[in-house]
Amino acid sequence: MGTQPQSPKHLEDWLRDAHAMEKQAEKMLETQADRLEHYPQLKARIEQHITETRGQVEKIEQCLSLLGTDTSVMKDMGGKLAAFGQGMSGMMASDEVVKGNMASYAFEHFEISSYRALIQAANKVGKPEIARICEEILKEEEAMADWLLQNLDDTTRQFLERSEDDDLRAKT
Ligand code: MG
Ligand code: FE
């Protein structure tokens, strides 16, 4: 009767990685939002994405439950960070909004590729519900990446104008 579904080992590993990635994303976005008082639109969009990111953590836990993984263990692995996220968090911590924006844009694409891989892995082992949940998350990541790209030029110009003003003030 057809082929047996494969073991979901990669799917489970990648869901765990995604869980760590989203926990890292939450921290990075919170750090960034704290420093954006002069960029209200960017701050509001990042705050929206913090809410989405918290929902994504829950969705990934739901996916792991569908695989029969005990997600209470996940809470104990909060310290595990995605290597990429660790590299990015240095840039995120920078109080320069342009560098934070570049890092966020790169990070969203890391997330996009992670969910695309998860969707393939879920379909491969016959877990369409997990694929569907990952598609929901993927749409949020794509929307965030698009928004950041749309706003990158404006944010950069605002930053340059602000730093020019600061230079003028310093001279008087
Ligand atoms: Mg995310
Ligand atoms: Fe994201």
Residues 56, 142: Cα–Cα separation, whole Å: 14
Distance 170 CA to ligand 1 centre (A): 40
Distance 169 CA to ligand 2 centre (A): 37
Give the ligand at the shortest distance from the Cα of 109: 2
In this structure, the number of other CB atoms found within 10 A of the CB of residue 91 comes to 18
Distance 22 CA to ligand 1 centre (A): 5
Position 12 pLDDT exceeds 90: yes
Distance 107 CA to ligand 1 centre (A): 9
Report the pLDDT averaged over residues 50-59: 98
pTM of the predicted model as reported, rounded to 2 decimal places? 0.87
Confidence of residue 76 (pLDDT cuts 50, 70, 90): very low
State pLDDT tens for residues 99-127: 999 999 999 999 999 999 999 999 999 99
